[in-house]
Homo-oligomer: A and B are copies of this chain.
C-alpha cells in the first residue's frame, strides 16, 4: 500500500501509510490536538473529525490535548479509524482529503512546524525488568555471576511502580539530579549532583482500555487492552539508586525523569511483526501462559550519543525488542492479577533491552561495565556515564518488505544540576 503523500513512501521513512501512529501536537499558539504521523507531515485529526472525514463512532475525541479519549473507545473504534485513515491517505482511495486543496492545507502540518507534545495523560507508570541479559549483567556486577539472576526472576515479570508526573516527551531537556549517595569506601553518605547518570533502553506499552478493580485479566485479555507502543528512556542515577534501593526498590534514582517518543505506534501496525517470547527456562504459572500466541515484536532498536558540539551522534548499541523474556501482555496480566485497576493511559516500561553482547547493551552501566571499560565515541571522546550537554537518543523500527514501521526518536539532552538552595 502506498500513499499519495510521497514522503511516506521512502523505504526508510518511519511513518508510511502502514504505520499511522497517534500523537499530540500544536502549531504556534494553537491549542494542542491529536494527530497522526504520515511521512514528513502531521495529519490533524481534529480537523478531519470536525469536517466529518473521520468518525470514531462517538462524541469528538481528537480536539483534545491527549489521545486518551480515543484510546478509551476501545478496539472497534481503533480498527475503524485506522481503516478510514488508510482509505483517505492511500493511492486510489477516498478522494475527499486528497482532492480538497483548502482542507488539505488545514489538515496537513509539516512535522518541522509542529511542536510534538506528550501524547498521553499517564495515570500510572510501571517499570518492569524483563530483559534477561540486562538482569544478568547488572546482577553479575552487583552479586557475581552465580547469584546474578534473583530466584524469582524466571517466575515473575518483576516490576515496580514508577513516577508518572515526570514522564516527558522526547526533546525535553533533562536536569542532572541532585541526590544522596555513598561511595563504597565512604563512612557516611554525601550529597551532590549524580556522577553516574545513565539511560535505559526500553519499550513502553500503553494501556488503552481498563479492567475493573479487584478483577484479574488473562494474558489474552491483557493483550487486547494494549493500544500501542513507544520508545522509553528510563533515565537512571546509578549512584543514587545503588545507595537507596535496598530494601524497597529504586526511587530517587529514577523519579527525576522518564522520556518517551511522541508517536504511539499501534498494535495493528505492529501485527505483521509479532514473534514469540523465547523458550521458557522454567514453566510459568498458568496465569502467565501466553497460550502459544506470539506476543512480542521484532523491533530493531538503537542507542545513540551525541556530545555537546559534536557533528554527529555515535551509535552505541543495536539490539531488538524480541530479546525480552516476558511480553508486555504478560506484564500487564501480572500487574492486574491481584485486582490492581489498570486505566486508559497507563504506561508499562519493558525493562532494559540488552542483546547478547556489548554491541547490544541497553545501558551505559553495562556498556562500560560499571565504569571500568569506558566507551570511545566517534569524536574520540570517552564516556563511562553521561556528561552535561550530551544528547542521548533511542530509535527503533520494525522492518517490513519495502517499508518500516518506525517509532521516530526518543531523545534528551542533559543540563547541569540546579544550584543547591540554602538548606
Residues of A whose CB lies within 8 Å of any CB of B are 123-124, 129, 150, 152, 155-156, 158-166, 168, 175, 177-180, 182, 188-191, 194, 213-219, 237, 240, 243-252, 255-257, 282, 285-287, 289, 334-335, 337-343, 346, 415, 418, 420-423
A216-B420, A421-B218 known; A251-B180 Cβ under 8 A: no
A189 to B124, alpha carbons, bound, how many Å? 28
Majority-rule SS of A interface residues? loop
Tell which of B164, B286, B335 touches A423, judged by Cβ atoms closer than 8 Å. Answer: B286
Sample of 28 A–B contacts (CB below 8 Å)? A123-B165, A152-B189, A156-B189, A156-B244, A158-B251, A160-B161, A160-B248, A165-B341, A166-B340, A175-B213, A175-B339, A177-B338, A179-B338, A191-B286, A191-B287, A194-B338, A213-B257, A214-B415, A217-B421, A218-B423, A248-B250, A249-B249, A249-B250, A252-B334, A252-B335, A252-B340, A289-B423, A339-B418
The 10 closest A-B pairs by CB, nearest first: A249-B249, A177-B338, A175-B214, A161-B161, A286-B423, A160-B248, A256-B338, A255-B340, A248-B249, A165-B341
Q: How many copies does the complex hold?
A: 2
Contacts of A240 in B (CB 8 A): 338
Contact A161 B162 (CB under 8 A): yes
**Given A214-B418, A334-B252, A420-B216, CB of A246 within 8 Å of CB of B191:** no
Question: Which residues does chain B contribute within 8 Å of A216, judged by CB atoms?
Answer: 178, 418, 420-421
Choose among A129, A162, A189, A247 the residue with the greatest number of B CB atoms under 10 Å from its CB: A247
Using CB atoms, name the residue of chain B closest to A351.
Answer: B248
The residue of chain B having its C-beta at the shortest distance from the C-beta of A423 within the complex is B286
